Structures are given as C-alpha cells and as structure tokens.
Structure 1
Amino acid sequence: MKQAASLIIFTLLFSCNNNAQNNKKQQAMANTKPIEVPLQDGKTKAYFASGCFWCVEAIYQSVIGVDDAISGYSGGHTENPTYNSSNTGRTGHAEAVEVIYDPNVVSFSDLVEVYFSTQDPTQINGQGPDWGSQYRSIIFYQNEEQKQIAEAKKSKWAKKIGSNIAAEIMPFQKFWEAEAYHQNFEARNPNHPYVRNVSNKRLDKLYKTCPLLVKKEVNDVIKDLNKN
C-alpha cells in the first residue's frame, strides 16, 4: 500500500510539474515578438483558431477576397505538431487556419468580424461540442496594427453581448499545416454527420451575420437551396 501511495504521489507531482512547465512555455509564447508574413503575389495571410478547423476553414473559404484557407496548428510550444499530439492538450497548439486573402478586397478587420460572428465568443477552451485547449479561440496578430484591431473588436463584442470574450490575442510565430485528410474536409465530405450537424450551423451564422462578405457564388447556392 505504501508503495502504491508513493507511486500516486510521484505521478501527481510529475503531472503538476509538467503542467507548470507547459504554462511557463505558453506565457513565454504570449510575450514574444510577432512574426510578420510577407506579401506574396499581392496576397497576405492571417491566422485564426476557433474550435474545429474543419468549420473555420469552410467559413473563410466562403469569404470574398479569400483565395484559400488551410487547416493546421499554431499557438503552442512544440515542434511539428500532429492531430494526435495536439489532441493531448500538452503541445500548447490549437487547431488553426491560415487564411490567404487579397487585402484590396477584404481587410484584416473584416476577417476578425467574421471570426467573432461565426462562433460562441464566450465559450472557453472550445466551440460547440469540441472541448479542450486545442479547440480554444485565438486571434494571431503579426504587427501592432493587427493587435489593436483585434483588441478593439474584442472590446466591441464584449459590450455588444454584455459578457467576457474568451478569445486570446497572441503574437503569431509559426503555422504548421495539418495532415492532408483534414484539408477541404467539409467540401469533400458534405454528408459527414459532423459537417451536417455542427459545421453547417456555423456557416449559416456567416450567411446571416456577414452577408456582404460572402462570395457571390456561395450566396447563389444558398438562394437556390432556399428556393427548394
């Protein structure tokens, strides 16, 4: 019994120490200088975490001026995260998307508005049925202007709904692209139960709250569906 008790105590101490180390690493990440991704062919990139990346990817792919949205991982302290490792919650990473967009068509401010409009901004460490630090909400900024935009939007939404906003605002460091089977998941799996019961509801929020930011071809499809 004494040996068993000693083993339990050792395990608890090791776990607490490990969590403390991870928290310190995360705090260090929040205090780092952001990395700014340069323009490429006139296009720029933005990074957001907001629950399952399947949902977020589909949302931003529907926004005007967005060329693509790629699923991946960001915000953590480990190298080369994977879906399995991020799901442990020990990597510090959250499921995130890289949004490639034309700043002459849609602004970073617009993308942040889409961000808050298509989630439950009060939910901590998750969105909908997805819970855990890997599903937490984060707006990644690359410069002081983006940081100010994110903070102003967060403050505006807090006043709008009369509640605290869960989203973190963090300096961008690195984006790790997710496994191939996660990319364009909703488009490739329209009848998947998760897509039909969870992801599509978040997409519907986009259509209702930000109709002027939705691509014309997407709006046309919605109109046709509503007619039927």
Structure 2
Amino acid sequence: MKSIFLTAVCILCFACGNNAQNKPATKPEIANAKPVEVPLENGMAKAYFASGCFWCVEAVYESVKGVKEAVSGYSGGHTKNPTYEQSNTGRTGHAESVEVIYDPKVVSFETLVKVYFGSQNPTQVNGQGPDHGSQYRSIIFYQDEQQKQTIEKIKAEVAKNYDKPIAAEILPFQKFWIAEDYHQDYEKYHPENPYIQKVSIPRINRFKKKFPELLKKEVQ
C-alpha cells in the first residue's frame, strides 16, 4: 500500500503540481513580519531556502562541505501544520523548503546563498524545472538584517548575468514545518524514481560540475 502511495506522490510531483495556483502566495503580513532568529544548537546554525521540489534542494545542500543535514519541509505561508497534499494545491501560501543545518566554522551563510543561486534557474517564476506553481516558488529566508544584506548583495551580483529578472523572493523567516517522513532523503532512498532520474540527479550533477570545490569528498 505504501509503495502505491509513494508512486502516486511521484507522479503528482512529476506532473508539475497540476493543482497549483500561479497567483502570488506570500501575504503582506508575512513579507513585512519581523524575522525570527534561530539560535545555534551544539555549534550548528540553520538556514532556510525554497527552490522548487525539496527532494532536489535537499540533495544539493547535503552534498556541501560543512552541512550536517538538510531537512525537507514547508515555509513562507499562512497555514499551520501543512501537509504535502495541502501544499500541492498552492493555497497554503507555503513553498517546499529545506532547513539546512550547517557548521558556520566550515561553511558560511554567504556560501549557502551562492549555492542557492548556483543550483537552479534563478529567473524561473513560480517553479523550477518541470515543477510549476506557487508551492515551488523561489524564496530565501533571512533571520536578521545582516543575512538580508548578504542575500541582496549576492542577488544583485547574480542579476548581472541574466537578461530576465531574478525571481527569488527575500522573506523574513517565521517558521519551518517539517515534511512527512517519506520525503526525507528521498533522492538517496529512491534513486530509481523517474523524477529523481530525470530531474533531481541531473540538477545535482550540474551543481557538482559548477562548484567542485564545495563538495564533500564522498560525493565528488
């Protein structure tokens, strides 16, 4: 029964989120909120990014030196305790996001932002690759003014390389909702999945080729 359900989930994801809405999903009260700062825990910091399907983004960040773990989830919206099914409608306001747990002594927040822009098409609006809808929109979350300035600086630098505007929103972090267990480390445990083979693996391979100096030895 579980395998049937997972197959259905994969088909939905590969089918570009056909229930999604393309209208703007970020409410003004969220965009204008005071950012929530997440304290260090055992020397580890946390950062939050949304860039299309979280299976892909999670795999990219987990390949980076200094990153202990990347967790799939939902952020940027107005719905409490969102589920994957709810998020896939585009009505929760949330985007599929990742929580990146990292050692700031090994990798900086600035480098993680560069990874963000360098591992996607930063001009694609409301989606990434074959995934379309507000739940796949690009967002970088900041926790304080210094992080916001870092993001804006790198975004401006990246914009010089493109004719189209950079699509990523810059939002104050509020809360991260962890996704269902079956989404965690999905690429690792389901390499045979058609979406993983056709979308996720090519995406991380492009990132590896672009940033070999950032990779953990075991993924080079």
- TM bucket by the smaller chain? 0.7 to 0.9
Report deviation, 1:181. 0.4
Does the CA-based 8 Å contact 1:122-1:165 persist in structure 2?
yes
Query: What CA distance in whole angstroms lies between the structure 2 residues aligned with 1:132 and 1:25?
Result: 13
Please tell me whether residue 148 in structure 1 is matched to residue 136 in structure 2. no
* Residues 149-204 of structure 1: per-residue CA shift (max 9 Å, x gap): 11111111111223310000000000000000000000000111111100011101
Please tell me whether residue 98 in structure 1 is matched to residue 102 in structure 2. no
SS where residue 46 of structure 1 aligns? Answer: strand
Query: What CA distance in whole angstroms lies between the structure 1 residues aligned with 2:143 and 2:116?
Result: 16
* Residues 71-129 of structure 1: per-residue CA shift (max 9 Å, x gap): 00000011111101111111100000000000000001100111111101010000000
SS where residue 160 of structure 1 aligns? Answer: coil
Query: What CA distance in whole angstroms lies between the structure 2 residues aligned with 1:158 and 1:142?
Result: 23
SS where residue 70 of structure 2 aligns? Answer: strand
1:74 corresponds to = 75
1:61 corresponds to = 62
Taking structure 2 as the reference length, the TM-score comes to 0.88
1:8 corresponds to = none
Q: How many positions carry a matched residue from both structures?
A: 199
Structure 1 segments (4+ residues) deviating >2 Å: 22-25
SS where residue 202 of structure 2 aligns? Answer: helix
* Residues 27-66 of structure 1: per-residue CA shift (max 9 Å, x gap): 1100000000000000000000000000000000000000
Query: What CA distance in whole angstroms lies between the structure 2 residues aligned with 1:87 and 1:24?
Result: 13
1:42 corresponds to = 43
1:208 corresponds to = 209
**CA 1:41–1:91: 2 relative to 1, 3 Å:** same
Please tell me whether residue 110 in structure 1 is matched to residue 117 in structure 2. no
Amino acid at match of 1:170: L
Relative CO higher for 1 or 2, CA cutoff 8 Å, sep ≥ 6?
2
Amino acid at match of 2:129: G
Please tell me whether residue 187 in structure 1 is matched to residue 188 in structure 2. yes
Amino acid at match of 2:97: A
Query: What CA distance in whole angstroms lies between the structure 1 residues aligned with 2:155 and 2:210?
Result: 17
Amino acid at match of 1:162: D
Gaps of 5+ in 1: 1-18, 220-228
Query: What CA distance in whole angstroms lies between the structure 1 residues aligned with 2:218 and 2:180?
Result: 28
Query: What CA distance in whole angstroms lies between the structure 1 residues aligned with 2:25 and 2:191?
Result: 41
- Root-mean-square deviation (CA, aligned residues, Å) is 1.5
Does the CA-based 8 Å contact 2:93-2:135 persist in structure 1?
yes
SS where residue 110 of structure 1 aligns? Answer: helix
Report deviation, 1:24. 9.1
Larger Rg: 1
Does the CA-based 8 Å contact 1:73-1:175 persist in structure 2?
yes
% identical equivalent positions: 63
Does the CA-based 8 Å contact 2:26-2:76 persist in structure 1?
no
Gaps of 5+ in 2: 1-20
2:84 corresponds to = 83
